[in-house]
Amino acid sequence: MEICPVCNKEVDQSIFSSVIDGVVYRFCCERCQRNFTAEPRKFMNCCEDSTDR
């Protein structure tokens, strides 16, 4: 299950996705995608986000 990095909601369908620095990010909605791509650092954690695995 992907988590939207902007609002931390679970993303059911990976419709909205962006590749930044070779990493694919998935978003719950277009607004989150735009916000993230506008300022990726604002939403990125300093360390790699732990995927639930």
Comparison of 36 and 48: residue with beta carbon closer to Zn ion: 36
How near is the Cβ of 14 to Zn ion at its closest, in Å?
A: 12
Q: Is 4 in the site for Zn ion (CB under 5 A)?
A: yes
Specify whether the CB–CB gap between 29 and 16 falls below 8 A: yes
Rule CB under 5 A: say whether 44 interacts with Zn ion. no
For residues 20 and 4, what is the distance between their CA atoms, to the nearest angstrom? Answer: 14
Do residues 10 and 29 touch, judged by C-beta distance below 8 A? no
* Pairing label, strands 23-27, 16-20: antiparallel
Q: Which of 26, 28, 33, 36 binds Zn ion (CB under 5 A)?
A: 28
- Name the site residues for Zn ion (rule: CB under 5 A): 4, 6-7, 28, 32
